[in-house]
Structure 1
Amino acid sequence: MAGFLTPDQLAARTSRARDAAVAAGRALGLTVTDARVLHDVFSVVVHLAPSPVVVRVPTVLPSYADPDTQAARQRRELDVVGWLAQQGTPVIPPSPLVPAEPVRRDEFSMTFWQYVEQDSGTEPDYVRNSGLVAGLHAALRAYPGRVPFLSAAEPEFVTDALAVLQERPDLLPAADLDRARREWEILEPVVRTRAGFEAAFPGVGFQPIHGDAPAVNIVSTEGGELYSDFELVTYGPVEWDLAALGPEGEAAYNAAARRAGLRALDERAVRLVNAVGASRAVACLALAPQLPLLVEALEPALDTWRAAPFAGGLSGLSADG
């Protein structure tokens, strides 16, 4: 595939990220003799064994993610998760062995987290996990810090990616690109600003939220489930965290929300976040040259999008009210 990183180039990137994590850990005083790569998709995740520390090194990034932007996002994540841990919320916390700050090493910006032994014999139950998200929302409501409005929607990324895909018909056919652009003209003003969302969805409240499919990012351990991966933590409607989880996941969330004294999901807002999620999935094709596996991995999401109503059936939506 023209313009795609080769397997050797991908392996070299993984190796550079691993080496940077090891060097950064040692510079912070950690003992590292048996570093292992645990995960390698959008980030390279490295266990700095024997130290009980895991480093997450983002490697596949949108064009606008300069070092300052990336570090600001990582600081928000560390602050929110550190606060949740102090409140007793079951999260994978920042490592207590190093300062809770992003570290720049070589061309990478990385964060350091406590290592936890995962229960590899447990299959993820996303419906059950959807119910657990209500507990996370209950905890996040009291977060005293500030996080930006729906930054997890990444409107700049989607807009830029659609421009990139204009030049890559091998990644997205012209008819699909035309639909994606027309949908984004409707959806983008609603998620770009708080005022735009409030105009289109009056009465739907906001709070700090996880931002990146928390039901998928719940880790099972022998001691119970832990919330993880708050890279896209943001402020917005709780519906955002339930995107693409379907009616069963929504029902599980609503039942748990009622028990926790939280509001139920707004059906129209769910349709919106599902449509925006589909736009982001299309946009992710622009990252395929950096991560070729996305071409195949995104096929089910794209098929679902093609079969879905235009703009989630919200084509009359207006951010102007």
Structure 2
Amino acid sequence: MTHPPPGHGTRPRRASPKPARHALTRRATAAALALARRHGLPAGDDPAVLGNVFSLTLHLRPAPVVARVATRMPRLRSPIGDWLRMELEVTAYLAAQGAPVVSPSAELPPGPHLEDGFAISFWTWLEPDPDRVATTADCAAMLGDLHAVLRTYPGELPLMCANDVPRGLALLDATGDVLSPAEKDLVRSAAAELAPFMAAPPGDLQPLHGDAYPANLLATRRAGLVWIDFEDVCRGPVEWDLATMMDAGVVRDLLPALAAHR
């Protein structure tokens, strides 16, 4: 996923519409539980919320299943079912090749499903390791192996940012005062400057994770570090994944090795 802009602390932010957010979360939770139970999954009444930003991610305890419900992501990506299907297919392929990823669920059909207007996918639950937190150094150490397996993926993938940037720009005016007029102008000018690069990226293109920063590398008790969240999977130069790590020092250290490999 793309990362939210940092706050500036000098301009008041619009209050979060909490009642609407809570209502959406309740509906999405109910949809995930209803769908899981219809497939015979022994899901309890108290799923653990693992994340709730662009999608609602739930551990359907006690079952070893995680449900991800697309709540806000359809505003940026439509039809959302196509994106979820691509993510499931890529991750299933990587898992079959032995890559360290969280795989689609084997407890019930992984989807994508449509329930009460929500697109839902199901994933394998892996117990997190509370004593281990992934770092950009971990991402750097593991990214080359992930790219090597991704290069063998036989399916079609979109070019990086092919859809996100145009749709994101179209939604800018709907952000209210979350972004100031100056910030919106900055986003538009940056998009215009990068447009030639995004339309025709230089160098060799290959399948990428698309968002290879530490929050998408999960530390687990039994499987060690595993990649998650391939909903930004795309084609592009490997430097794109390096940039998404958001650590200039780590990227600088990696570039000589990348150049030597080429």
The interval holding the TM-score normalised by the smaller chain is 0.7 to 0.9
Q: Structure 1 residue 91 and structure 2 residue 92: aligned?
A: no
Q: Structure 1 residue 220 and structure 2 residue 219: aligned?
A: yes
Aligned positions of 1:64-143 closer than 5 A: 65-66=77-78, 69-143=79-153
Superposed CA deviations along residues 59-83 of structure 1, whole A, max 9, x for unmatched, are: 12353534xx201001110000000
Q: Structure 1 residue 158 and structure 2 residue 168: aligned?
A: yes
Structure 2 CA distance, aligned partners of 1:35 and 1:4? 27
Give ranges in structure 2 of 5+ residues lacking alignment. 1-11
Q: Which residue of 1 aligns with 2:5?
A: none
- Note if contact 2:77-2:167 (Cα within 8 Å) is conserved in structure 1: no
Computed over aligned residues only, the root mean square deviation of the Cα atoms, in angstroms, reads 2.5
AA partner of residue 42 (structure 2) = T
- Note if contact 1:152-1:232 (Cα within 8 Å) is conserved in structure 2: no
- Note if contact 2:165-2:191 (Cα within 8 Å) is conserved in structure 1: no
Structure 1 CA distance, aligned partners of 2:92 and 2:104? 6
Q: 1:221–1:254: structure 2 CA closer, same or farther, 3 Å change rule? A: farther
Identical pairs, percent: 35
How far apart are residue 15 of structure 1 and its match?
A: 1.3
Q: Structure 1 residue 55 and structure 2 residue 55: aligned?
A: no
| TM-score when normalising by structure 1 | 0.70
Aligned with 1:85: secondary structure?
A: helix
Superposed CA deviations along residues 51-101 of structure 1, whole A, max 9, x for unmatched, are: 1110011212353534xx201001110000000100111110000122232
| TM-score when normalising by structure 2 | 0.84
Superposed CA deviations along residues 94-125 of structure 1, whole A, max 9, x for unmatched, are: 00122232011002101100000000122332
Structure 1 CA distance, aligned partners of 2:99 and 2:146? 8
Q: 1:188–1:163: structure 2 CA closer, same or farther, 3 Å change rule? A: farther
How far apart are residue 175 of structure 1 and its match?
A: 3.1
Structure 2 CA distance, aligned partners of 1:216 and 1:256? 24
Q: Which residue of 2 aligns with 1:301?
A: none
Q: 1:247–1:177: structure 2 CA closer, same or farther, 3 Å change rule? A: closer
Structure 1 CA distance, aligned partners of 2:146 and 2:253? 14
Q: Which has the higher helix share?
A: 1
Aligned with 2:57: secondary structure?
A: strand
Aligned with 1:21: secondary structure?
A: helix
How far apart are residue 132 of structure 1 and its match?
A: 1.2
- Note if contact 1:133-1:215 (Cα within 8 Å) is conserved in structure 2: no
AA partner of residue 106 (structure 2) = P
How far apart are residue 152 of structure 1 and its match?
A: 6.7
Structure 2 CA distance, aligned partners of 1:262 and 1:53? 39
Q: Which residue of 1 aligns with 2:35?
A: 24
Aligned with 2:73: secondary structure?
A: coil
Q: Structure 1 residue 176 and structure 2 residue 183: aligned?
A: yes
Structure 2 CA distance, aligned partners of 1:104 and 1:73? 13
Q: 1:215–1:251: structure 2 CA closer, same or farther, 3 Å change rule? A: farther
Q: Which residue of 2 aligns with 1:205?
A: 204
How far apart are residue 257 of structure 1 and its match?
A: 5.2
How many residues are treated as equivalent by the alignment? Answer: 248
Structure 2 CA distance, aligned partners of 1:228 and 1:118? 12
Give ranges in structure 1 of 5+ residues lacking alignment. 264-321
Aligned with 1:136: secondary structure?
A: helix
